[in-house]
Amino acid sequence: MNYADQEAYMRECLSLAAQAIGDTSPNPLVGAVIIKNDKIIGKGYHHKSGEPHAEVEAINNCNESVEGATLFCNLEPCCHTNKKTPPCAQFLVEKKIAEVYIGMLDPNPAVAGSGVELLKSQGIKVHVGILEDQARELNKVFIKNMASSLPYVHVKWAQSLNGVFASYPDQDRLMLSNNDSLVYGHKLRKKYDAIMIGRETLNLDNPRLNIRYVDNQSMKNPLKVIIGDYEMMNKESTLLKSERAMTVIVTSSKYEKLIHDNVLFSDAQSIKEIFQALKTKFGIQSLLIEGGMKLINSVLSENLADEISVLVSPEIKQGKVFKLEQNLNQYKAQSKTLGNNVVFEYRKI
């Protein structure tokens, strides 16, 4: 098989896997394609945690025997048993797959090359590294979580052309986003396990932090996280009244007698410690920050953002100019237009 065909089949795997963005946590995004006699006879992807893995779904979707066939998948087939579904590598052996092309090795220490070794030991030809950069980009959240005690963190804010922040206490609410920007923001929400705001944003905006404007067939409803002084939070706000079951409060331990569910009591001065605790207690693998200037600067000052999105409106506004308290030299930047707005996207180098 020539390399152009290998890349084409791997792109199909990546495209399939991407259909489940935001739905598979804490599992990775994986797509698989089965080739026999130079044609695709089956394809599939992992839809959500606890459901069949991509390799299994692809094989089950075949209308003919897969014996002697070639399988493409963007992530190394798993081989560990301490999980909700059976190991895929052994399943491929049992189905007599002859050859496997893999985008990248699984960064999970329980796998980390063991799946490849199992396949090879059973006489299956294995090729690793097809479109590896693209495979790593797709599973950047999973890779981070396998290597760190911290969740993957994405910071987003909107501002006017002259730097006035989109929302700030004691100012009129500024609506800087057009429809394209709203779609962009809600696509981000769908990608992440949780959305964090501060107490001031809660009181000023009374946000719902749900997913609208984009297709959400899985009916995903991200966890909401509010950080700040509980006594000063608006108890009649949507998130503390009708959305309480899906809202986590991060506040001082002095309120332990007042709140009893979905709460993280922390007196930590470091936002890093709070992020680690959110991951440990609530399983938050990825976090979108939509708070105000104080929260955003605290995250950036500790160098905790893996990605940053800044939406800029062409308008000139009066109000509080957002002062970034640290530079972004450690990030690679790119930009794109969203209607009459521009979004600047920064990725940690």
Active-site annotation, residues: 55
Contacts of 289 (CB under 8 A, 6+ apart): 153, 154, 155, 156, 195, 196, 197, 295, 296, 299, 305
CA distance 66 to 60: 10
Tokens for 175, please give them.
């609506």
> Which of these, 255, 318, 272, 72, lies nearest to 264 by C-alpha position?
255
3-state secondary structure the chain: CCHHHHHHHHHHHHHHHHCCCCCCCCCCCCEEEEEECCEEEEEEECCCCCCCCHHHHHHHCCCCCCCCCEEEEEECCCCCCCCCCCCHHHHHHHCCCCEEEEEECCCCCCCCCHHHHHHHHCCCEEEECCCHHHHHHHCHHHHHHHHCCCCEEEEEEEECCCCEECCCCCCCCCCCCCHHHHHHHHHHHHHCCEEEEEHHHHHHHCCCCCCCCCCCCCCCCCEEEEECCHHHCCCCCHHHHCCHHHEEEEECHHHCCCCCCCEEECCCCCHHHHHHHHHHHHCCCEEEECCCHHHHHHHHHCCCCCEEEEEECCCCCCCCECCCCCCCCCEEEEEEEECCEEEEEEEEC
